[in-house]
Structure 1
Amino acid sequence: MTSQDLLRSPSVPHTRPQVVFDDPSTGPFHQKCGAEPTALDSIPDVIRALWAPLVVPITAPAFTTIDGEKKRLPPFPELIHTKPLGKRVCILDLDNREFADHGDVFSYQIPTWGNLRGPAAGFISHYLYAMIHGYSYKFIRAPKYPDRAPHWSKVIFTKEMLKQYDVVVMMDSDAMFATPQVPLEWLLNYWRIGPEALVAMPEDPLDHPNYDVRRRVNVNSGFIIAQAGEKTQRLFKDWAECPSETRYPGCAVWKKRPFHEQSAFSSHVRYDFLDGYSIDSHPQYIRTIPCTEANGYPQVAQSGCVGQFVRHYWADKNLTNLEFNHNIMAALTPLLVQSAYKQPGVVEDYREKVLDGALILDNPHR
């Protein structure tokens, strides 16, 4: 089926959803439980229909990144996923900040593009990615630990979400999918993250201070892929309890010291998990993703991390707005061109005619 066929498919809605709020204070983030459905309820279907012609098939043999590098999947018999995981995947946002100022996602004044704040752009892009591919989406408004940095809450709530979903993808607000048309299943195939993998995270740049106590480069917990199972529950439990030092002497230093839970995992947990396993003896359980593919962004290319699939704007969080803008327009531009200029009956071609005053005449020389 061609992209034009998909655009003409009966599954694509032909009516435009009308979003009207009589009272802005009761907007989409303040709707009462059990309220009647509104036009907002159709937005996930609209998003999927818009992106349908662009979504990369799960088993597509190759994909070319924005910077022109061709990435190839393993041979078909070696693929891990050939069918969509759907709602078994949860894209997880988690934060304990209020985000109630103008331009934030929980403001009583619905953000407009002109006042959208950086974290909001990141969160909305994660929701967009989930809707494009039919995944579940959750935003956890987390409480704060009384004795440690708020970053630690991502560990315990990822663990809890793994009781409900097969795969949980936890993302910081400044981490975004650079190519949202690429489904997670394709990435799992490409990175060879099979069912035995408990957790996967990208490496940090090879530069100070991104090394653990053994002088090995840290993993970055701003993008976590975790897969459900008893072993994963145990791993995340040990990780969340690391600062208690019942299992990991010296881990308490990471309660409030950067990089908090990330350093605790990198310096302690990955070297001793599941009763004596380590990342070196059992690398199939803890997977590292190349930094250039799932960390950093083009403006810090000198770090070796350009975020070909997942970008993490740790040094300039305001760039999330530009990334979100690119995500939307990169998808809409080819669709609009297809719809406006490639459909029969839209463009009328008079170039072979002759204009004479108020007349449009046939060209006698043709």
Structure 2
Amino acid sequence: MSALPSIPQSWRRIVLLLPVIVVALGFTTGFFGSSLKPKLPKVVFEPESPPGPFHRECKTANESSRLDELSDVIRALWAPLVLPVTEPTFTTLDGDKKHLPPTEQLIHTKSLGKRICILDVDTRGLSGDGDVFGSHLPTWGNLAFSSAGFLSHYLYAQIHGYTYKFVRAPTYHDRAPHWTKVIFTQELLKRYDIVVMLDYDAMFPSPELPLEWLLNYWKIDREVMVAMAEDPDVDVNLDLRGKINVNTGFIIAQSSENTQRLFKDWAECPDETRYKGCARWKREAFHEQAAFSSHVRYDFLDGLSVETHPQYIRVLPCAEANGIPEKRHLGCMGQLVRHYWGDKTLTNRELSQIVMRAFTPLLTSAAYSSQEVVEDYRTHALEGDKILDQS
């Protein structure tokens, strides 16, 4: 294993997908037979409009999907499964059918590609056995719970051609590490149209569903600066005014001067230059989440409130964007985005299900859909050592 340190980190993180790569390459090289060789689509993501002032550095993807990188393999593998951005309906894993607004009300009609950034922020070393930055590649048997979540985020970004960033953040000297997600989401918004920040235990259970579809479904237009899910309706999750907290484990943020101002005020909340009483959340739970829920959302952009101007801060339903099926009794089952605060050990299970749901039908097709593999004698009869043709 002495050669592992020389392997790029981006390859080490996705080692769990090696079986998928083998099958995908088998398809493209004819290993499974030319009759089963799929026609890989030319996957091209064009920008919806010229980049704005906050994302001049953003690179758009205009390249064909030649299988010269792992990301191309992933995108080709999932391409038949990806839901169109304008698909009228989607059925969740629990059978609930979701409907988009009428066509004329849709916000996005094509992918934003690299202008969307899927973001992980973490202050830990993550260098132990099973961690994504460990000296040895993780195995499925020792994969850390956090690694499963991070890998699912990377996979989601690759499926849809989004940018993926992992920020290894420094810590504040005076507050909990959770606060770093605020400042680095703000920083990445200077480069990308949309930044989706996820805690490691927040995952997309149906990665074939594009973010643009979710934006259409939740009606997150350009006026919306930030969107977060509501927490379960229990006493511990109430803010200082008795309103249910929003959960900062899944944040959709859109670039604008107003969004920059919002995140600046949020990051500076514990300094109490604007929000009196916010210093308590430097280390007291729920840290940046409590600061936003109890202070920022009631006074942003010079006196606006989520109650008077809800169009700027979108609160997403807990049932759709928070929780897990095991916590459905709290009203939060994670239909579209799951958050495993109820049992973080289940992130490994979620990653395996995500991969195998895509891999299983392709494997089945490769194995059993070709006459070169399957010889069908069901119309014949057997007599002694003879196979008789009854036709």
Identity %: 63
Specify which of 131, 142, 145 is matched with residue 158 of structure 2: 131
**How has the CA–CA distance of structure 1 residues 287 and 343 changed in structure 2, closer, same or farther, with 3 Å as cutoff?**
farther
1:229 matched to 2:259? The reply is: no
Spell out structure 1 runs of 4+ moving beyond 4 A.
none
TM-superposition CA deviations, 1:221-274 (whole Å, max 9, x none)? 000000001000000000000001110000001000000000000000000000
1:316 shift after superposition: 1.2
**How has the CA–CA distance of structure 1 residues 41 and 98 changed in structure 2, closer, same or farther, with 3 Å as cutoff?**
farther
Corresponding residue for 1:317?
Answer: 344
1:71 shift after superposition: 0.3
Specify which of 17, 23, 47 is matched with residue 3 of structure 2: 23
Mean Cα deviation higher: 308-317 or 80-89: 308-317
User: In the aligned structure 2, how far is the partner of 1:348 from the partner of 1:116?
Assistant: 40
Query: Cα RMSD over matched residues?
Result: 1.6
Corresponding residue for 1:175?
Answer: 202
Secondary structure at 2:69's aligned position in 1? helix
1:350 shift after superposition: 1.0
1:22 shift after superposition: 7.4
1:74 and 1:189 in contact (8 A); partners too: yes
2:324 and 2:342 in contact (8 A); partners too: no
User: In the aligned structure 2, how far is the partner of 1:359 from the partner of 1:250?
Assistant: 89
Corresponding residue for 2:332?
Answer: 305
User: In the aligned structure 1, how far is the partner of 2:192 from the partner of 2:137?
Assistant: 30
1:360 matched to 2:387? The reply is: yes
User: In the aligned structure 1, how far is the partner of 2:73 from the partner of 2:83?
Assistant: 18
1:27 and 1:110 in contact (8 A); partners too: no
Specify which of 133, 140, 162 is matched with residue 189 of structure 2: 162
1:111 matched to 2:91? The reply is: no
User: In the aligned structure 2, how far is the partner of 1:177 from the partner of 1:221?
Assistant: 15
1:41 shift after superposition: 6.5
1:64 matched to 2:91? The reply is: yes
Structure 1 unaligned spans of 5+? 1-20, 32-38
- Amino acid across the alignment from 1:304: G
TM-score by length of structure 1 reads 0.89
Corresponding residue for 1:285?
Answer: 312
2:198 and 2:250 in contact (8 A); partners too: yes
TM-superposition CA deviations, 1:153-173 (whole Å, max 9, x none)? 000000000001000000001
Corresponding residue for 2:375?
Answer: 348
Corresponding residue for 2:101?
Answer: 74
User: In the aligned structure 1, how far is the partner of 2:239 from the partner of 2:173?
Assistant: 25
User: In the aligned structure 1, how far is the partner of 2:6 from the partner of 2:161?
Assistant: 27
Secondary structure at 1:131's aligned position in 2? helix
Corresponding residue for 2:269?
Answer: 242
TM-superposition CA deviations, 1:198-217 (whole Å, max 9, x none)? 00000000002001011000
TM-superposition CA deviations, 1:103-126 (whole Å, max 9, x none)? 000001011111101000000000
